[in-house]
């Protein structure tokens, strides 16, 4: 194996590693400002200068490849003199505003200057006085920018948005939106977290607090199944900031949407409807009302609709509640989310769980994105996909109903007119046209092939098993991951606890409601934001039940059909766990307490169980330890050591899919999609409220998007109408 000598010590390295890579892996400190391991090296700051034996001048360690036998000095007076000169150049433009800068306390430039022993600037200069630029939810202060390009590279290589560029030259060089006057991106804030100084900040946190005053808690995202954990900073009982865990990314919802818990329309006391109007009650009073209404409750007359905002522990508690009632009539959001496809999926893989992990996308050398607009469904999968394309030279094939922003990175992109995905797959298998033959070559050459399947496919393809049969064509040995995109926070927790296809379907519930066989219905975290005949029939049928108990945050949407409302705590206010995409068991930690009488779902389930003479622990820790640990694939560990690194165990199979392609009938199809920046999880009320006036005026997460049809957009598939849901 090749070896390099750093400061007299010999280290082995892999081909393609830089001097900085080898040094970092072996604990040899080299200062940097522009370097990020998640992006390709930039070489802008020059603080990583090292002395290479035989070279005429100092070399930047981040962009100098290690070579066998190379001798390198990383720490001597000559090197540090030149590094300090580079830092002097940076400080010529950068004002020393640390006392009033939002980044103070976690600024890389501040830390680096301290490391270099530079307490003041050596070269006096006139500093720029340019106005701040407001790009919707992001504020850019070019006066503080050190031109490291981390934001530009991160946006391009980590998110695939490519929303930033560098403009002008020399002293006037600055970052600007790549197109137009503002950003067209995911608003994930990856650029904010990667900015080493205070040049990029989010408008909600700007000038709100000092970072050292924040009480920070790391928790699973309450909005998305595909992103990393979130660090929330709390001051005086309010969340002031959301940011990503180092090395990971979060969505716009997690970064900016946490204020939904402060929405003024949130219900904070129990409500009971009488004479058409709701009146507030104490918990003791509402339980007394429920005892009277549920007296003589029969199992066959009682059902439950369960949502995906619930933690695993809350799901288990409500499942146990229905066990106490003696009823198995539980329908969940999983019954409305790709139900036909998921049943075929289980026939093939023997499980509803995703095949392998989301991070396996990063290692793939060929990825098929099938009918998935990942910006809307699983932005975290898009980021991992981009990582594979940029850093693993992965080939990317999209088959969809429209062109996507990441199509600029694709090797081949196909439009499935009329939802005819099966026709595209058949051509890839057999058609001699060059474009299809190329894909066959990609498959032949690839060692790790991954699939991502989304809503556009499951909503429009008349043969849901088509992509599963195509997986047979690819072959079990080559398939490194098969992931079903989903925007629902804990949909995989519902699958894990076997609450889909469990013998009672949404259609059966609707028929029972229409026939007035269901007298008592529990709506626990369930909000019917779905479209189609089944969802519409459900909304109409809900009126037939005599007692409808809603457990939620807002009395709207489906919950508005209830005559008893029990206010629940949000995921930011409880402890527990979620199952994220790929089976990761993510730890939910209480971040804040919101004033009011609302209770956690596990506490509510425990209270309701007593009506039926049953005992359910109110504590999520006890529920996990007694009801989940070691069962249904959940790790057999104690709740207090769950750390977001454990996974739900599955033993998937790979059964051949019976399939014969049939050309779909002609005719226009309507496919409904969520608007961007909306998880569809919380309720129909606005997910987001903003404290700053600027955000209200300039950025609307839920503004209506145009309906896209083949007639109005050349990039849409023929015979397809894509309509944005309105929440």
Min mean pLDDT across 123-137, 355-369, 561-575, 660-674 is at 123-137
Please say if the pLDDT value at position 144 is more than 80: yes
Min mean pLDDT across 82-96, 426-440, 490-504 is at 82-96
The mean predicted confidence, pLDDT, of the chain is 89
With vertex at residue 313, the alpha carbon angle to CA 486 and CA 622, rounded to the nearest 5 degrees, is 155
pLDDT digits (tens, 9 = 90+) for 489-506: 999 999 999 999 888 999
Asked if residue 688 has pLDDT above 70, the reply is no
How far apart (Å, rounded) are the C-alpha atoms in residues 289 and 109?
Answer: 62
3-class SS shares of the chain: helix, strand, coil, % to 5:
35, 20, 50
Q: How is residue 632 written in tokens?
A: 């249904």
Which of the pair, 291 or 672, is modelled with greater confidence? Answer: 291
pLDDT > 70: what percent of the chain? 94
What are residue 9's DSSP bridge partners? 6
- DSSP character at residue 515: T
Separation between Cα atoms, residue 592 and residue 232, nearest integer Å: 9
pLDDT band at 723 (very low <50, low <70, confident <90, very high): confident
pLDDT, residue 693, reads 36
pLDDT score, position 686: 40
- Tell me phi and psi for residue 113, to 5 degrees: -60, -40
Side by side, the strands of the sheet bearing 215-219 are 215-219, 230-235, 238-244
CA-CA distances (angstroms) from residue 321 to 248, 299, 461, 605?
A: 37, 11, 38, 6
Flag whether pLDDT at 98 surpasses 60: yes
Task: Tell me the average pLDDT across 54-73.
Answer: 94
Give the rounded percent of residues in the chain with a pLDDT score beyond 90: 68
**pLDDT, average across residues 721-725:** 79
pLDDT at 701: 35
> How far is residue 579's CA from residue 492's CA, in Å, rounded to a whole number?
6
Strands (E), 443-563: 449-453, 479-484, 520-524, 547-552
Whether 676 contacts 375, CB under 8 Å: yes
Give the pLDDT confidence of 206-262 residue by residue, as tens digits.
Answer: 989 999 999 999 999 998 888 889 999 999 999 999 999 988 899 888 998 888 888
Higher pLDDT, 129 or 103: 103
pLDDT category at 680 given cuts 50, 70, 90 is: low
Over residues 434-453, mean pLDDT: 96
Cβ contacts of 444 within 8 Å, gap of 6 or more: none
Per-residue pLDDT at 405: 81
Whole-number Å distance between alpha carbons of 311 and 220: 10
pLDDT range class, residue 90, cuts 50, 70, 90: confident
| Cα separation, 450 vs 398, whole angstroms | 12
d(CA 708, CA 651): 41
What is the model's pLDDT at position 661? 94
Checking if the pLDDT of 129 tops 50, the result is yes
What pLDDT is stored for residue 712 in this prediction?
A: 40
Task: Say whether pLDDT at 700 is over 50.
Answer: no
Helical (H) or strand (E) element with 286? helix 283-293
Least confident of 207-221, 471-485, 664-678: 664-678
Report pLDDT digits (tens) over 160-198. Answer: 889 999 988 777 788 999 988 888 888 899 999 999 999
Is the predicted pLDDT of residue 709 greater than 70, yes or no?
no
Which tokens belong to 131?
């106005």
- Whole-angstrom distance, CA of residue 310 vs CA of residue 602: 10
Q: Does residue 704 carry a pLDDT above 90?
A: no
Closest CA to 506 of 534, 531, 533, 480: 534
- Pick the most confident of 261-265, 548-552, 686-690: 548-552
Express each pLDDT in 19-43 by its tens digit: 999 999 999 999 999 999 889 999 9
Within 8 A by CB and 6+ apart from 379, the residues are 186, 188, 224, 226, 227, 251
- Residue recorded with tokens 């009146």: 279
As a whole number, mean pLDDT of residues 2-26 equals 94
- Starting at the earlier edge strand, list the strands of the sheet with 9-12: 9-12, 3-6, 71-73, 49-52, 59-60
- pLDDT-derived band at 123 (thresholds 50, 70, 90) equals low
Confidence at 272, pLDDT banded by 50, 70, 90: very high
pLDDT at 216: 96
Per the structure block, which two tokens stand in for 413?
């992109």
Strands 366-370 and 395-400: parallel
In 121-224, DSSP assigns E strands to: 133-135, 138-140, 164-167, 174-177, 200-202, 215-219
Reading the block at residue 353, the tokens are 């769980």
């Amino acid at each position: 194996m090749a070896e390099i000598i750093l400061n007299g010590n010999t280290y082995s390295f892999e081909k393609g590693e830089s001097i900085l890579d080898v040094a970092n892996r072996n604990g040899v400190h080299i200062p940097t400002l522009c370097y990020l391991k998640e992006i390709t090296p930039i070489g802008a700051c020059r603080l990583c200068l090292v002395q290479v034996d035989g070279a005429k001048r100092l070399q930047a360690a981040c962009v100098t490849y290690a070579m066998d036998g190379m001798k390198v000095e990383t720490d001597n007076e000559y090197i540090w003199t030149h590094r300090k000169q580079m830092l002097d150049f940076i400080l010529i433009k950068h004002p020393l505003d640390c006392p009033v800068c939002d980044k103070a306390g976690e600024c890389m430039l501040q830390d680096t200057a301290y490391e270099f022993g530079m307490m003041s600037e050596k070269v006096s200069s006139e500093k720029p006085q340019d106005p701040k630029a407001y790009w919707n939810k992001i504020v850019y202060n070019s006066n503080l920018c050190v031109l490291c390009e981390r934001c530009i590279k991160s946006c391009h290589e980590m998110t695939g948005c490519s929303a930033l560029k560098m403009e002008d030259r020399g002293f006037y060089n600055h970052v600007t939106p790549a197109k137009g006057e503002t950003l067209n991106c995911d608003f994930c804030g990856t650029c904010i977290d990667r900015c080493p100084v205070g040049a990029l900040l989010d408008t909600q946190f700007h000038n709100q607090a000092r970072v050292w005053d924040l009480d920070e808690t790391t928790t699973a995202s309450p909005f998305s199944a595909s992103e990393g954990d979130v660090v929330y900073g709390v001051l005086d009982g309010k969340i002031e900031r959301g940011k990503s865990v180092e090395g990971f990314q979060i969505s716009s919802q997690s970064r900016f949407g946490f204020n939904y818990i402060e929405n003024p329309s949130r219900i904070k006391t129990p409500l009971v409807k009488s004479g058409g109007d709701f009146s507030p009650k104490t918990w003791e009073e509402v339980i007394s009302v429920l005892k009277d209404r549920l007296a003589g409750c029969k199992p066959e007359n009682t059902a439950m609709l369960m949502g995906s905002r619930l933690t695993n522990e809350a799901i288990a508690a409500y499942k146990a509640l229905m066990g106490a009632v003696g009823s198995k009539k539980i329908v969940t959001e999983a019954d409305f989310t790709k139900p036909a496809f998921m049943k075929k999926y289980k026939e093939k893989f023997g499980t509803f769980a995703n095949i392998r992990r989301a991070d396996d996308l990063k290692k793939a050398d060929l990825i098929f994105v099938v009918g998935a607009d990942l910006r809307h469904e699983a932005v975290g999968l898009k980021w991992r996909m981009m990582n594979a394309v940029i850093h693993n030279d992965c080939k990317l094939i999209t088959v969809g109903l429209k062109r996507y922003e990441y199509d600029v990175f694709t090797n081949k992109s196909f439009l499935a007119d009329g939802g005819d995905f099966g026709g595209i797959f058949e051509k890839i298998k057999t058609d001699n046209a060059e474009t299809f033959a190329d894909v066959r070559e990609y498959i032949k050459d690839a060692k790790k092939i991954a699939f991502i399947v989304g809503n556009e496919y499951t909503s429009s393809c008349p043969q849901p098993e088509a992509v599963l049969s195509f997986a047979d064509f690819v072959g079990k040995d080559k398939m490194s991951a098969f992931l079903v995109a989903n925007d629902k926070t804990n949909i995989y927790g519902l699958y894990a606890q076997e609450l889909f296809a469990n013998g009672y379907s949404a259609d059966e519930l609707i028929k029972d409601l229409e026939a007035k066989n269901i007298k008592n219905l529990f709506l626990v975290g369930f909000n019917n934001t779905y479209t189609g005949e089944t969802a519409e029939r459900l909304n109409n049928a809900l009126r037939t039940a005599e007692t409808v108990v809603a457990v939620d945050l807002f009395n709207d949407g489906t919950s508005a059909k209830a005559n008893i409302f029990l206010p629940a705590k949000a995921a930011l206010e409880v402890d527990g766990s979620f199952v994220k995409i790929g089976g990761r068991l993510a730890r939910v930690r209480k971040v804040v307490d919101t004033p009011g009488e609302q209770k956690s779902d596990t506490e509510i389930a425990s209270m309701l169980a007593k009506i039926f003479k049953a005992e359910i622990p109110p504590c999520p820790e006890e529920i996990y330890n007694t009801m989940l640990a070691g069962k249904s694939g959940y790790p057999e560990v104690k709740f207090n050591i769950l750390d977001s690194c454990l996974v739900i165990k599955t033993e998937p199979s790979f059964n051949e899919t019976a399939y014969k392609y049939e050309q779909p009938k002609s005719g226009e199809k309507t496919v409904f999609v969520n608007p961007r920046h909306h998880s569809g999880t919380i309720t129909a009320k606005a997910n987001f409220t903003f404290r700053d006036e600027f955000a209200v005026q300039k950025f609307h997460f839920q503004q209506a998007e145009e309906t896209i049809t083949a007639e109005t957009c050349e990039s849409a598939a023929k015979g397809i109408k894509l309509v944005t849901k309105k929440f």
